Amino acid sequence: VHLVESGGGLAKPGESLRLACTTSGFSFNSYSMNWVRQAPGKGLEWISSIAASVGYLYYGASVKGRFTISRDNAKSTVYLQMDSLRAEDTAIYYCAGGWEGGQHFDVWGRGTVVTVSS
Amino acid sequence: QSVVTQPPSASGTPGQRVTISCSGGTSNIGSNPVNWYQHLPGSAPKLLMYADGQRPSGVPDRFSGSRSGTSASLAISGLQSEDEADYYCAAWDDSLNAFLFGPGTTVTV
C-alpha cells in the first residue's frame, strides 16, 4: 500500500495550491478518501472527505468554501485544491483512505508540507 | 476548541497499564463508532483501533478499546517504550457532517 502526497510548498496569503495523493496497492475505487492536516504544534484535524463513487463531499468548517476535494478513480489519485490560503492553513497535509461503509482511515500517506507566509 | 476531549498526556512505566479517555457528545461518540490513531512525529498516522474495539491486523493485543455512551477509552497494557506516541480518538459527527479528532494524548513511557 502506497499513498504519496505532492504539491506542497510555500504560498503567499490569498494564493492557491493543488495537492495530489497518488495511491497504489489497495482498491482505490472502493475507498473513501480524506485529507487530514496537522498544524505546527497542534493535533490532527480532518478537513475533507470524498466518497468512493457516489460523489458525496464533506468539508470541515475551517476550509469550507475555500478548499475543493476531487478524485480520479482511473488514476487512483485524490486531489485537494486549496484557494484563498491563509497563514493558519500552514500544516502537514496527509491523505488517508478508508473502506467505503467504514468510518475509519486505514491507509495513510506520509504527508506534504504547506507553508503560507508573506 | 474540540468538541471531543482527551487528556493532554498520560504516562507509565514499562509493563504498566495506561488508559486514555475520549469524551464527546450524542451526535458523535454517542452515535458513531470510535477509532483510535497512533502518531509518531515525522511519520504517517496509523490506525490503531476501529469500530470501538477492533484491532487491525498487526496491532498487538496489548491495545484494547471500548465505548459507552458518549465516552470511549483506549487501554495499553504491558506498556513498552515503543508505545511512546501521540494517540487520537476520532468519530463522525452527525450534526456537523464532519469527522472529529480529539486533541490527542501524548503517552510517555
Reported as a single tens digit per residue, the pLDDT across B20-78 is: 999 999 999 999 999 999 999 889 999 999 999 999 999 999 999 999 999 999 999 99
For residues B33 and B36, give the distance between their C-alpha atoms in angstroms, rounded to a whole number: 10
Dig out the grid coordinates for B109 from the structure.
513511557
Q: Is A28 helix (H, G, I), strand (E, B) or coil?
A: helix
Residue B2 confidence (pLDDT): 53
The total of other beta-carbon atoms located within 10 Å of residue A81's CB is 14
- On the question of pLDDT at A83 being above 90, the answer is yes
Of B43, B51, B98, the CB nearest to A46: B98
Which residues of chain A make contact with B101, given a CB cutoff of 8 A? 36, 43-46
C-beta of residue A29 within 8 angstroms of C-beta of residue A53: yes
CA B26 to chain centroid: 18
Averaged pLDDT for residues B9-25: 97
Of B35, B37, B97, the CB nearest to A103: B35
- CB distance from A93 to chain B under 8 Å? no
